[in-house]
Amino acid sequence: MQGVTNDHAPGGGLRQRKKRATRAALAEAAIRLAAEHGAENVTVEAISEAAGVSPRTFFNYFASHDDAFVVIDEGVSERIHEAVRAAPAELSPLEAVRSAFVGELTGFEERQELLNLQFEVFQRSPHLIVRGLNAYSSDERELARAVATWLERTSPGAAPAPAPTPPSPPVGAADPGEWAGADIPLFARLLAAVAHTAVRVTFEHWCARPADTDLAETFAEVFTHLAAGLRRPTD
């Protein structure tokens, strides 16, 4: 029914879900074509045709050709940040972040092929690494802002209303001063950086040993080490 779609509800409403699906289809098409032909030899027209959309539609989702190779599913980060902001007050900061990431673990095993292809594309086209690092840094800052919002919301005497969600800068874009993160408390920045590193180590370890490593178990082990203060392992 027209007018009843709630784009701010969990999942973002039908229109937002369709937009995320189109963006993901474009990103997957870009990565698969780049893995076969090289990113420099893949055109916007070829990516758009493989995804079943027009080149004009492509630029509704990506500011440039190279941006399509960087982020496979931007909705994952958005959901993680929202889960952090909505985390229960009784959790510790590390548990709040861990729980948010746990909610996105389901299905990642099925995406290993695409993640490996993306890694190959980056190896063959090093200039994409810079865009990837920009996107990674931007996502880490947004996670830190989500942590800061949760800390403020759950602190003693805090108002019940959550703080508004700030918009995210374009993926791969330059880092203007307003996105430098000077407004984010040190603790929130540190926790976000630690969480991102923990997730990266988890996926690297899992991708290197997919046959004998369970992703969820590895993730739990990493955060167990963090919660214990990185003490020397006993085994």
- What are the φ and ψ backbone dihedral angles of 228, each rounded to 5 degrees? -85, 0
Tokens of 171: 């993926």
Cα torsion 147, 149, 152, 155: sign: negative
* Amino acid code (one letter) for 35: A
Q: Number of helices (H) and strands (E), helices first, in the chain?
A: 9, 0
Tokens of 26: 């474009």
Cα 234 to Cα 166: distance, rounded to the nearest angstrom:
43
pLDDT of residue 40: 94
Q: What is the pLDDT along the chain (235 residues), one digit of tens a residue?
A: 333 333 334 445 788 888 888 998 999 999 999 999 999 999 999 999 999 999 999 999 998 899 999 877 667 888 899 999 999 999 999 999 999 998 888 767 777 788 888 888 998 998 898 888 888 899 999 999 999 999 999 987 655 544 444 444 444 444 444 445 678 999 999 999 999 999 889 888 887 887 787 888 888 899 999 999 988 888 6
pLDDT of residue 48: 96
- Answer whether 31's CB lies under 8 Å from 118's CB: yes
By residue count, the chain amounts to 235
**Distance in angstroms between the alpha carbons of the first and the last residue of the chain:** 59
Cα 231 to Cα 210: distance, rounded to the nearest angstrom:
26
